[in-house]
């Protein structure tokens, strides 16, 4: 979650990407879902924004790292 918070607080990253990071954080904090569902939903949100051509490379790399970590989460 720390990596996502860094993305949210980085003003060099476009707003739509920061918004996706916020949505992913909210998804991960949702107590009504199982860990696997939280991770899958967050990965889905983040994967969608990695296609954005306006995304800085450092942000894309950070999001790929988050996706890699979340992909290991199972129920």
Q: How many residues are there in the chain?
A: 75
Residue 1 pLDDT exceeds 90: no
CATH topology of domain 2-70: de novo design (two linked rop proteins) (1.20.1440)
Rounded CA-CA distance 36/53 in Å is 29
Q: Report CA torsion sign: 26, 69, 61, 44.
A: negative
Domain boundaries, the chain: 2-70
Each residue of 22-65: pLDDT tens digit? 999 999 999 999 999 999 999 999 999 999 998 999 999 999 99
- Which residues, other chains included, contact 28 with Cβ-Cβ below 8 Å and sequence gap of 6+? 1, 4, 38, 39, 42
Q: What is the pTM of this model?
A: 0.90
Q: Cβ distance 1 to 25 under 8 Å?
A: yes
């Amino acid at each position: 979650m720390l990596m996502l918070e860094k993305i949210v607080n980085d003003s060099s990253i476009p707003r739509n990407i920061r918004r996706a990071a916020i949505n992913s954080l909210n998804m991960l904090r949702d107590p009504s879902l199982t860990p696997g569902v939280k991770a899958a939903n967050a990965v889905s949100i983040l994967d969608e924004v990695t296609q954005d051509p306006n995304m800085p490379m450092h942000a894309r790399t950070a999001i790929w790292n988050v996706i890699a970590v979340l992909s290991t989460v199972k129920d």
